[in-house]
């Protein structure tokens, strides 16, 4: 019997990628062959994001593109967009299956039934009563794996729909999380990235802590490197920073969602800290780990943001030894407090402010890269090829290129960072 072809297209966060990989493995051993979403397939699975209006637009475009590749294919949209606005997807003739964040794990049973054509499964649009946690990790990339350690969020930020889409903060026990990590350790994977919606909240409902999890993960043999994904400023502590400083496995790379460098805007956003806390973290990290990479998330154009507040935020960012920024332009989301706020920032001003922050980020990144010249770092080489070069990343997240050598893929090599071109170090 000829195998049916299935393609997965993931949008959004690293958490989505870990879950897509887990769902795709549910098809292994069945009568399916996984192919690229750019190829003709019998089933297309689009793991959607709903953080911005543009993310939802990309989901709709992906569904239309899939149907053009094969008009007879089943197209399934799963995840946050499906959870929050299934009625919009039901209006699309290209979409056959719509599964919310609870129901997306039902996908294998649905597509195994070749009679299934059109179905929507979303048990309530609001996930905030859901406390079930499902383990997930990505597999397929020989080099790195995204390990899901937490889901949902108890923070009710004024601009965000994630608590509605993903539910309340929840996680498994340290013991169960370690079992999942040990599965990864049995593979060839060298680096694990800890992912979730609000990972610093790990263990809050069962008397455990994120730091305790890090300490136990550090003991696992077979995993050489760990990278911590985004962690809230109020959940990052000196104990965590000091643990990373002393660990041989946890990398000196911090990703912190500040969102604004102006305290009044932070208050309007419903954030749980003032900017001084971020400054304290950044300065302490650089004191104990001078070569650490520190990335900051920022939102520009939040409702009510004045020119003076934006400039205050920009000046604050420029005053700190930050490595680079992730800049997001505010996007109004239905059913959020911010949607009802007055004094919306016009689109042209939001773009102007985004451009300014991107320029600041470029300068910060150039300064950080320059500061690392002449230093020796360990690079994990990946299989990605760019012309004659392969690429890899240092522990403090500097991109390094070297002439492609298949024998180097998924190996860790100590290199001297000397020649730099366009933000990457070149090792000839």
pLDDT at 110: 85
CATH 3.40.50.12160 segments of the chain: 4-121
Tens digits of per-residue pLDDT, 308-344? 999 999 999 999 999 999 999 999 999 999 999 999 9
pLDDT value at 47 more than 60: yes
pLDDT at 128: 58
Is 231 exposed, middle or buried (CB count within 10 Å of its CB: 0-12, 13-18, 19+)? buried
Tell me the three state secondary structure of residue 90: helix
Tens digits of per-residue pLDDT, 297-312? 999 999 999 999 999 9
pLDDT value at 78 more than 90: yes
pLDDT at 233: 98
Tens digits of per-residue pLDDT, 351-382? 999 999 999 999 999 999 999 999 999 999 99
pLDDT value at 115 more than 60: no
CATH 3.30.750.210 segments of the chain: 134-251
pLDDT at 124: 58
Q: In what order do the strands lie in the sheet with 97-99?
A: 32-35, 4-10, 43-48, 74-79, 97-99, 119-121
Mean pLDDT over 231-242 rounds to 98
Mean pLDDT over 383-405 rounds to 95
pLDDT at 120: 67
- The residue count of the chain comes to 428
Tens digits of per-residue pLDDT, 176-212? 999 999 999 999 999 999 999 999 999 998 999 999 9
pLDDT at 290: 98
pLDDT at 13: 92
- Record: fold of 4-121: Rossmann fold (3.40.50)
- Could you give the residue ranges of the DSSP H alpha helices within 118-208? 162-166, 174-185
Tens digits of per-residue pLDDT, 12-23? 999 999 999 999
- Using left for φ > 0, alpha for ψ between -120 and 50, and beta otherwise, residue 14 falls in alpha
Which residues on neighbouring strands pair with residue 390, listed in sequence order? 385, 402
Mean pLDDT over 59-81 rounds to 96
pLDDT at 109: 85
Q: By the 8 A CB rule, do 171 and 196 touch?
A: yes
C-alpha to C-alpha distance for 252 and 288, rounded to whole angstroms = 10
Q: Where is average pLDDT lowest: 23-32, 213-222, 367-376, 395-404?
A: 23-32
pLDDT at 1: 65
Structure tokens, 395:
């522990």
pLDDT at 73: 93
Mean pLDDT over 222-235 rounds to 97
The full DSSP string for 21-59 is: HHHHHTTTTSSEEEE-TTS--SEEEEEE--SSHHHHHHH
Angle in degrees, 0-180, between the axes of helices 210-217 and 238-246, rounded to the nearest 10: 10
Question: In terms of Cα–Cα distance, which of 40, 104, 100, 94 is closest to 63?
Answer: 94
pLDDT bracket for residue 6 (50, 70, 90): very high
Query: What kind of architecture, by CATH, is found in domain 134-251?
Result: 2-Layer Sandwich (3.30)
Percentage of the chain modeled with pLDDT above 90: 86
pLDDT at 29: 72
CATH 1.10.238 matches 376-426: no
pLDDT value at 122 more than 80: no
pLDDT at 348: 97
pLDDT value at 126 more than 70: no
pLDDT bracket for residue 131 (50, 70, 90): low
Mean of all residue pLDDT scores within the chain: 94
pTM: 0.93
C-alpha to C-alpha distance for 192 and 147, rounded to whole angstroms = 7
Residues 6+ apart with CB under 8 A from 69: 38, 39, 40, 41, 44
pLDDT at 114: 56
């Amino acid at each position: 019997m000829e195998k049916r072809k299935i393609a997965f297209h993931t949008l959004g966060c690293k958490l989505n990628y870990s879950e897509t990989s887990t769902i795709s493995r549910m098809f292994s051993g069945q009568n399916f062959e996984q192919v690229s979403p750019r190829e003709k397939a019998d089933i297309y699975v689009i793991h959607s994001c709903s953080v911005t209006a543009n993310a939802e637009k990309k989901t709709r475009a992906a569904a239309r593109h899939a149907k053009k590749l094969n008009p007879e294919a089943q197209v399934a949209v799963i995840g946050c967009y499906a959870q929050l606005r299934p009625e919009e997807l039901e209006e699309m003739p290209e979409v056959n299956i719509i599964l919310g964040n609870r129901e997306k794990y039902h996908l294998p049973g649905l597509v195994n039934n070749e009679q299934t054509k059109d179905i929507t499964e979303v048990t309530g649009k609001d996930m905030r009563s859901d406390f079930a946690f499902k383990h997930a990790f990505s597999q397929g990339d020989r080099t790195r794996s995204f390990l899901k350690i937490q889901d949902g969020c108890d923070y009710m930020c004024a601009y965000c729909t994630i608590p509605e889409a993903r539910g309340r903060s929840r996680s498994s026990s340290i013991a169960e999380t370690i079992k999942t990590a040990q599965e990864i350790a049995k593979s060839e994977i060298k680096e694990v990235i800890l992912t979730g919606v609000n990972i610093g909240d790990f263990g809050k409902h069962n008397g455990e802590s994120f730091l305790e999890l890090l300490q136990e993960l550090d003991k696992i043999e077979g995993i050489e490197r760990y990278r911590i994904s985004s962690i809230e400023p109020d959940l990052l502590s000196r104990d965590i920073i000091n643990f990373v400083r002393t660990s041989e496995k946890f990398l000196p790379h911090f990703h912190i969602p500040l969102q604004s460098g102006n305290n009044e805007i932070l208050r309007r956003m419903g954030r749980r800290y003032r900017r001084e806390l971020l400054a304290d973290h950044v300065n302490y990290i650089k004191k104990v780990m001078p070569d650490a990479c520190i990335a900051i998330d920022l939102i520009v154009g939040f409702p009510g943001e004045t020119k003076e507040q934006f400039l205050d935020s920009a000046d604050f960012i420029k005053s700190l030894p930050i490595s680079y920024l992730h800049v997001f332009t505010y996007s109004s989301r239905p059913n959020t407090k911010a949607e009802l706020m007055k004094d919306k920032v016009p689109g042209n001003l939001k773009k102007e402010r985004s451009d300014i922050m991107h320029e600041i980020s470029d300068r910060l990144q150039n300064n950080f890269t320059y500061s690392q010249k002449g230093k020796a770092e360990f690079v994990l080489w990946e299989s990605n090829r760019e012309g004659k070069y392969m690429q890899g990343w240092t522990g403090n997240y500097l991109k390094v290129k070297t002439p492609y050598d298949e024998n180097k893929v998924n190996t860790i090599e100590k290199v001297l960072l000397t020649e730099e071109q366009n933000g990457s170090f070149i090792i000839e």
